[in-house]
Amino acid sequence: MRWSPNWTRIRALGLVLALAALTLPALADGPVVHTYFAPNPEEDLSLSATTAGGSMPAALETPSGTVQAPDPSKSPEESEVAYGGTSTPSSVDANYRIDRNTTRPEVVSYDDPFIPAVTPFKRLYAYDSVDDGLELVVNDKRLSRVSIGGNVESGDDQFYGDMVVDLAEDTAVRIPSVGPGARVLAAHTNPETRFELYRDGADNWFIKAPERKRVRLVMQLAIHRSVFGSDFADVGYRALSRWVPVLPASAGPAASEVLGKLGLSPAVSPRAAVQTLVSHFRSFTPSTAWPKGAGADLYKELALTQKGVCRHRAYAFVITALAQGIPARMVRNEAHAWVEVYDGSLWHRIDLGGAAERMDTEQDPTEPQHRPPDDPYSWPEGSESGQELAQRTLAGSGGQPEPGSGGDAGAATSVAGDGGVQQTPAPAPSTSPTSSLETDAGLMAPEVDERPASTVTLGPIERQVKRGEPLPVKGKVEADGKGCEGVRVDFKLRTPTGRMISIQSLSTVAGGAYDGAIVVPPGVDVGDYELVVSTDGNPQCGSGSSE
């Protein structure tokens, strides 16, 4: 649990006791000049106490409860999740390509640096435009300064941010925010260093400093509470047009067909169109029958068959909303994806559901979880929100990922002191063609997977790569001697204790080949790992791994 001593109260107590020592008889062991009190957020509020140095309030009153400030003097640790590194406005993660794997993930990892916790809605990557290849991108990557200072306004929610950041010399590196339009009222680093905060056109946040250093960044943040739950304003398309980037010609026909199927046209008001879009994309369901298309065909298939999890919903929503003339963004982090829509005065966060089954997080369950306003949009029966995933996790039903799963194999790797990854051979664990179904009555007979098992090959990789930088990978997925087209290939790191760290996924093309780049997360600790490469297959190809 994050905590900090009530520094203001300790200083005042020391002064009182020192004065009392002038008039009271000396004790046998001398006068007591100070003592320690456990943090008391309610008392901090009543005394208007501040953190050490007076940089920010020692506690905040929020709709989620009273929260204690993190300790701004705490040093960053090597083992903590770190942001920044080589994640920049133009790094590989600045664009987003959708995949075909529409199955629901069993478990995802997540880190939340905010108090109250916004799990699973930490805002790390946002995309507001579409390129010719139907990848999501940032329309305006120019950076503007984020000012530090100001006051809490009526209707604001407040948060603390407490995160470890790997600064890069004279380079803007990515950090998370709590939501669109958030403001920084105070900020401090330990060790102290000069820094500036920036945002791009999609409101991605970055920090820039003159030296390379690992620091703890502590912030006091404010954001209009309506962002997290309020109705879209009654506004016209002409008023919104200045914020809507032009869709590429490659997306036009498919987007027009989707709009027609949804009954949307310029005759439908933006407010009503948002209602229709939310209802449609919240009605998606995970599917093992993966789509087969690519580019515009893949977008259209996802949108019209309503297949997929959070990222597929958000991706297709954004393209459709932009085609309708509504400013929209896809926002994601390592665990969840959702959308934002703009009505000319406020960006609205809208969750479309499709979260994972479980979440692996080290969040202290005693810390308050952010309580947003009521959701203005209804949820279809049987759907599940990201908020429910967070509640289930905090209630204890979420768990740690399994140390390994059948079909995972690859190469042993180590993250070196300079952030490099090195490859050495590693044996592949055995796989099983069956799985068991468990009911209240016990174990049923194994369910036979009749698909032919896939073989995943992994070509040579670079012996060393810095964390946060692309690592080229290539190989092939085959079953019964035939290439498996359109399957997802998952890359993970297995720690010495068996914990799995998801890195990235690629999709195979014609002939079952994959060729791309994965990125080792900047927050991965230095140490030895196994690079795990596997696939769940598709209706024609079973699961498998590299040999």
Residue with the bigger pLDDT between 505 and 313: it is 313
Q: How many residues are recorded in the chain?
A: 547
Closest listed residue to residue 334, CA positions, set 77, 83, 163 = 83
Residue with the bigger pLDDT between 8 and 218: it is 218
The per-residue pLDDT for range 299-309, each reduced to its tens digit, is: 999 999 999 99
Other Cβ atoms less than 10 A from the Cβ of 224: the count is: 20
Residue with the bigger pLDDT between 29 and 526: it is 526
Q: Which residues pair with 50 in a beta bridge?
A: 57
- Whether 74 and 190 have beta carbons less than 8 Å apart is answered as yes
The per-residue pLDDT for range 355-411, each reduced to its tens digit, is: 988 888 877 767 789 999 999 999 998 888 888 888 887 776 433 333 333 333 344
What local confidence, expressed as pLDDT, does residue 47 receive?
A: 59
Helical pair 252-261 and 310-324, crossing angle rounded to 10 deg: 100
- Whether 82 and 172 have beta carbons less than 8 Å apart is answered as no
CA distances 166 to 88, 173, 497, Å, are 12, 8, 25
CA–CA separation, 195 and 427 (whole Å): 46
Residue with the bigger pLDDT between 173 and 523: it is 173
What local confidence, expressed as pLDDT, does residue 10 receive?
A: 28
Q: Which residues pair with 57 in a beta bridge?
A: 50
Residue 538 has pLDDT above 90, yes or no: no
What local confidence, expressed as pLDDT, does residue 397 receive?
A: 41
CA dihedral 47, 51, 55, 59 (to 10 degrees): -60
Alpha helices by DSSP H, listed for 126-165, are none
Residue 67 has pLDDT above 50, yes or no: yes
The per-residue pLDDT for range 310-368, each reduced to its tens digit, is: 999 999 999 999 999 999 999 999 999 999 999 999 999 999 999 988 888 877 767 78
Tell me whether the omega of the peptide bond preceding residue 120 falls within 30 degrees of 0, making it cis: yes
Other Cβ atoms less than 10 A from the Cβ of 256: the count is: 14
Q: Which residues pair with 516 in a beta bridge?
A: 473
Q: Which of 230-239, 285-294, 427-436 has the lowest mean pLDDT?
A: 427-436
Confidence of residue 490 (pLDDT cuts 50, 70, 90): confident
Helix or strand or coil: residue 261? Answer: helix
Residue with the bigger pLDDT between 481 and 317: it is 317
DSSP calls for 273-338: HHHHHHHHHTT-B--SS-----THHHHHHHHHHTB--HHHHHHHHHHHHHHHT--EEEEE-SS-EE
CA–CA separation, 95 and 128 (whole Å): 10
What local confidence, expressed as pLDDT, does residue 177 receive?
A: 98
Q: Which of 191-200, 407-416, 512-521 has the lowest mean pLDDT?
A: 407-416
Q: What distance, in Å, lies between the first and last C-alpha atoms of the chain?
A: 43
What local confidence, expressed as pLDDT, does residue 31 receive?
A: 53
Burial (CB count within 10 angstroms: exposed 0-12, middle 13-18, buried 19+), residue 55: middle
CA 287 to chain centre: 23
The per-residue pLDDT for range 238-255, each reduced to its tens digit, is: 999 999 999 999 999 999
Q: Which residues pair with 12 in a beta bridge?
A: none
What are 528's two structure tokens? 């030895």
What are 298's two structure tokens? 């893949």
Strands (E), 383-499: 409-415, 421-424, 434-435, 438-439, 442-443, 447-448, 454-458, 470-479, 482-483, 488-494
Closest listed residue to residue 183, CA positions, set 205, 162, 202, 212 = 205
What local confidence, expressed as pLDDT, does residue 501 receive?
A: 78
Residue 415 has pLDDT above 90, yes or no: no
CA 476 to chain centre: 29
Strands 409-415 and 421-424, by their bridges, are: antiparallel
Confidence of residue 539 (pLDDT cuts 50, 70, 90): confident
Residue 258 has pLDDT above 90, yes or no: yes
Residue 136 has pLDDT above 90, yes or no: yes
CA–CA separation, 458 and 191 (whole Å): 42
Amino acid found at 16: V
What local confidence, expressed as pLDDT, does residue 463 receive?
A: 66
**Main-chain dihedrals φ then ψ at residue 137, nearest 5 degrees:** -140, 175
Mean pLDDT of the chain: 81
**Main-chain dihedrals φ then ψ at residue 338, nearest 5 degrees:** -155, -170
DSSP state of 95: S
What local confidence, expressed as pLDDT, does residue 396 receive?
A: 66
How many Cα atoms occupy the beta-carbon half-sphere of 368 within 13 Å?
20
Residue with the bigger pLDDT between 31 and 49: it is 49
The per-residue pLDDT for range 155-169, each reduced to its tens digit, is: 999 999 999 999 999
CA–CA separation, 235 and 220 (whole Å): 33
What local confidence, expressed as pLDDT, does residue 52 receive?
A: 64
Tell me the mean pLDDT in the region 231-235.
97
Strands 544-546 and 454-458, by their bridges, are: parallel
Q: Is 0.75 topped by the overall pTM?
A: no
Residue with the bigger pLDDT between 367 and 200: it is 200
Residue 375 makes CB contacts below 8 A (sequence gap 6+) with 229, 351, 385
Helix or strand or coil: residue 45? Answer: helix
What local confidence, expressed as pLDDT, does residue 157 receive?
A: 96
Helix or strand or coil: residue 227? Answer: helix
The per-residue pLDDT for range 203-228, each reduced to its tens digit, is: 999 999 999 999 999 999 999 999 99
What local confidence, expressed as pLDDT, does residue 53 receive?
A: 65
CA distances 169 to 124, 207, 214, 419, Å, are 21, 11, 11, 16
CA distances 148 to 186, 187, 261, 346, Å, are 6, 7, 46, 21
Residue 260 makes CB contacts below 8 A (sequence gap 6+) with none
